[in-house]
Amino acid sequence: MTFRSQILLGLRWVAGARLLGQLVTWSITIVVMRILSPADYGLLAMATVLVGFLAMMAQFGVGAAAIQASEMDDAKLRQILGLVIVINSGLFLVLFLAAPLIAWFFEEQRLVAIVRTLGVQFILMIFAVIPSSQLSRQLNFKGQSLVDLSAAIVGSLTALACALSGLGVWALVWASLVMEVWRVVGLSFISPFWQRPEFSLHGTRQILLFGGNLTAARILWFFYSQADIIVAGKFLGKDLLGVYSVSLHLASLPIQRLSTIINQVAFPAFARIQHDRDRFASNFLMATRMLSFTAFPVLWGMSSIATEIVALLLGEKWREAVLPLQLLALVMPLHMLVLFMNTAAQAIGRVDIALRQVLLAFAVMPIAFLVGARWGLVGLSIAWVVAFPVVLGGALVIFLPVIGLRVTDVFYAILRPVLAGLGMYAAVAVVRSILDPGTRTIMQMMILIVTGALAYGALAWTLNRRGCKEILGLIKG
């Protein structure tokens, strides 16, 4: 197969599996949200602050280094496995011992057991690193996609069964563990690596250097991305934190899924062409256009019908989530672009650039959250809208010169999707004003969704014909 055919096939497998998985898991997640309370999600958000932080250090970035490296043999893979065993076991021990401190900080003793249980994931991750990196280096995304799809479905069904059994927040905890076990078993089956680990650092300097810089970037990224959760948990309490975390989860979920699809394929693909900068720059711009073509209508469409989403899918107890969801969904496409640039920088081995981008976000966003928290949930959400465009602008200035592009190149790549998205938003607002404003029905929400889709499609075909053809080319292969 040609390089282009491999990438397109990989995108289809990953996207198809993710789409099918979301159709199933979103349906189940909405039911689980209606069963559980905001306090349950608040507890999980508190517990995952440190878990998420330590996850940034899991593997020390050596799994990504195994994908990015130009050459990789079994001897190096055994050394990588040995490193991962030592690092992840140590992280599990740290989390186990730190659990009481987390409970003390948030003044919630139930967090001790929750945090320690979630820590088991670090042991499970050890057995997935080599199989996953092998499949990615081969651009073999079919097996990974099927494993991820089945794991997501099994995890969601576990959450539903536990929620129906009255387990509360533990429904979310057990679902996370079951999903990781399923993923480890699946990856080990389709890409086994049954060799003893090598506990030696000889000849691993480049891997450790790449992994160390990547880990530093991930840690700083975590601090800035979790700053709003920490601020909300400390100053607003677990109930409002639960509302905010659900709003943020809903607003970021589509972009997380889309970014996961693109970045899973883009990282090894860009690594393959990292020495051909003209080809790299051309493919980067094309990917930016395609990401924008999809992200702006999805996220801005969600923002435009936030009232209906909350009222009809979550219920009255989540009413306070409407405005945060509207605001957060507006800025998430920009967040996606920064994530994509970060992946592209890593693929060419310039983790230092990714680190500088994260340093910028780390300097801007926590301050914005502290200021915004004075006005509660809405203030935190506005902080995203005001401060994150600054982060995007700085990230573009840092990265683009390295691959020979200008900020205006990216601006024009996203301009037409932005204009079409604005027109879509206006069309939804007009149709809503015609419908009965005093009621919220599934039929009304479907009318608004169809209106937005038709409006965006018409405007995209008029204003962004090139983007439409690129998407059609991707679909047709």
Averaged over 8-30, what is the pLDDT? 75
In contact, 226 and 365? CB cutoff 8 Å: no
**Looking at residue 438, what is its pLDDT?**
66
233-242 per-position pLDDT tens digit: 878 777 788 8
> Between 217 and 413, whose confidence is greater?
413
**Looking at residue 70, what is its pLDDT?**
63
First to last CA, the chain: 13
**Looking at residue 132, what is its pLDDT?**
84
Burial of 36 (0-12, 13-18, 19+ CB in 10 A): buried
Averaged over 118-145, what is the pLDDT? 83
Percentage of the chain exceeding pLDDT 70: 94
Query: Does 1 score more than 60 pLDDT?
Result: no
Token pair of 176 as six digits = 């996370």
* 8-state DSSP, 58: G
In contact, 264 and 14? CB cutoff 8 Å: yes
**Looking at residue 2, what is its pLDDT?**
58
Q: What's the mean pLDDT when you consider all of the chain?
A: 85
Cα separation, 413 vs 260, in Å, equals: 21
Domain residue extents for the chain: 1-203, 237-477
Residues 6+ apart with CB under 8 A from 98: 50, 115
Helix (H, G, I), strand (E, B) or coil at 438: coil
